[in-house]
Amino acid sequence: MNIQRILVTGRLYAELAALLPDKRPDKAFRFVAEDELQEADFAWADAYIGFQPAGPFSLAHLRWVHSLGAGVDAFLWKRKWKPDVLLTRTIGSFGEQIAEYCLSYLLRDAQCHDVYAWYQEQRQWKPVAPKRLSEQRMVIYGTGEIGRRIAETLRLFGVSPVGVSRSGRDTPPFSAVYRHDEAGEALARADWVIAALPLTEETHHLFDETFFSCLHNAGFINVGRGATVEEAALVGALENRNVRLAVLDVFEEEPLPPHSPLWGHPHVIITPHIAALTAAEDAARSILDTLDRIEAGEPLANAVDVSRQY
C-alpha cells in the first residue's frame, strides 16, 4: 500500500506535528483541528489519523485510517466501512493504565477508605478489618489485551480471576473462561465484575437487567465502552443492591448529561473517561511502526477486524 498524504486531527494533532514529520520527511502531513477540517482535506489525504471521524469525514479517497485510541467504535458503530480501507488502532500502555485504575478502586474498597474517612469526620475510633483481594472473586468481561493485563495485575495479589468472552476459550492468565451465556454461576459468586469490552452489535447493552439480576451485592467497574451498559438497569441494580458500588469511567453519552441520576447516586463513582489516556509519544510510535509495516507488507498486530468491530 502506497501512503503519501496523511491527515492528522484530534486533541493530539499539535503534539504529533512536532513528532511525526521529522521521522518521515518523505511523507506529506497535514495537521488540522477537528473543528477546522474541510472537504478539501479529505480529498487531499490518503490516510486519516484521529480519535473519531470528524468534520466532513469521508472514506472516498482514504486507504488507511488509524485510531488514536485503543477502541475503534467511533469509526465502526452504526457506520458502513469500505472493505478496501485498512483500519488500525493505537497500541500503547492502555492495559497497564487501566489495570492500575481498576486496582486503585479495588484497594480503596478493600481497605475501607471511605469508612475510615467517615469515622475520622465523626472523631470515632472504630477498627474495621480490611478485606484481602486474594479472598475476593473477580470476574473480568473481555479477555483481550486489556482484560489480560488486568488479570495479570490481580494475580500479583493472589487473585484467581475468571474471564468471560465471546468464545469461552481458555486464555492465560485467567483461571477459567466462560462464554457470555455460561457465566451465570460465576456472576452469582462474584465480589467484583470488571467490564473491559469493546462496543459491538453483540456487546451493546450486554449489561442489562438480566445480567445485573445475576449479581448479589457485587462491585461493578466499567472501563470498556459506555454503551455496553443499560444505564437504567444499572440504576435499578444499585437500588436493589445487586450492585453495591459502581465505578464508571465510560458512558453511553459523553460527557455524561447533568440530568443523569448517576451523578448524585451515593454508590456510584464517576470519572471522565480517563482510565487510559493516549500519550502523544505512544501515538507517534504506533503510527510510525504501523506505517513502516504497511509499506513493508508485514503483519499488523493492531489491524482491526471490521467484521467483528474490534
CATH number at residue 200: 3.40.50.720
| 42 and 177 part of one domain | no
301 domain residue, yes or no: no
Rounded to whole angstroms, the Cα distance separating 133 from 154 reads 8
| 102 and 149 part of one domain | yes
223 domain residue, yes or no: yes
| 228 and 282 part of one domain | no
302 domain residue, yes or no: no
Q: How far is CA 210 from the centre of its chain?
A: 23
Helices (H), the chain: 13-17, 39-44, 73-76, 94-110, 113-121, 145-155, 184-188, 209-213, 231-239, 280-296
| 126 and 203 part of one domain | yes
Instruction: Specify the pLDDT at position 244.
Output: 98
Q: Which DSSP symbol is given to 129? A: P
Rounded to whole angstroms, the Cα distance separating 96 from 82 reads 33
* Residue 254 is among the residues annotated as catalytic for this protein: yes
The domain tally of the chain equals 2
The parent domain of residue 101 ranges over 95-270
* Residue 265 is among the residues annotated as catalytic for this protein: no
236 domain residue, yes or no: yes
* Residue 273 is among the residues annotated as catalytic for this protein: yes
| 48 and 61 part of one domain | yes
Rounded to whole angstroms, the Cα distance separating 45 from 57 reads 11
| 187 and 212 part of one domain | yes
303 domain residue, yes or no: no
| 183 and 237 part of one domain | yes
| 41 and 112 part of one domain | no
* C-beta separation of 86 from 101 below 8 A: no
Which of the following is catalytic: 66, 148, 204, 225? Answer: 225
Which of the following is catalytic: 108, 137, 205, 273? Answer: 273
Which of the following is catalytic: 254, 281, 295, 298? Answer: 254
25 domain residue, yes or no: yes
210 domain residue, yes or no: yes
What own/partner pairs with CB < 8 Å and gap ≥ 24 does 233-239 have? 233/207, 233/208, 233/209, 234/207, 234/262, 235/261, 235/262, 235/265, 236/209, 236/212, 237/209, 237/212, 237/213, 238/265, 238/267, 238/268
Q: How confident is the model at residue 203 (pLDDT cuts 50, 70, 90)?
A: very high
Instruction: Specify the pLDDT at position 166.
Output: 95
Q: What is the mean pLDDT of the chain?
A: 97
Instruction: Specify the pLDDT at position 8.
Output: 98
309 domain residue, yes or no: no
Q: How confident is the model at residue 72 (pLDDT cuts 50, 70, 90)?
A: very high
| 150 and 258 part of one domain | yes
pLDDT digit string (tens) for 172-191? 999 999 999 999 999 999 99
Instruction: Specify the pLDDT at position 184.
Output: 97
Instruction: Specify the pLDDT at position 251.
Output: 98
Instruction: Specify the pLDDT at position 238.
Output: 98
Q: How confident is the model at residue 289 (pLDDT cuts 50, 70, 90)?
A: very high
| 168 and 21 part of one domain | no
| 115 and 256 part of one domain | yes
Mean local confidence (pLDDT), 252-266: 98
| 179 and 247 part of one domain | yes
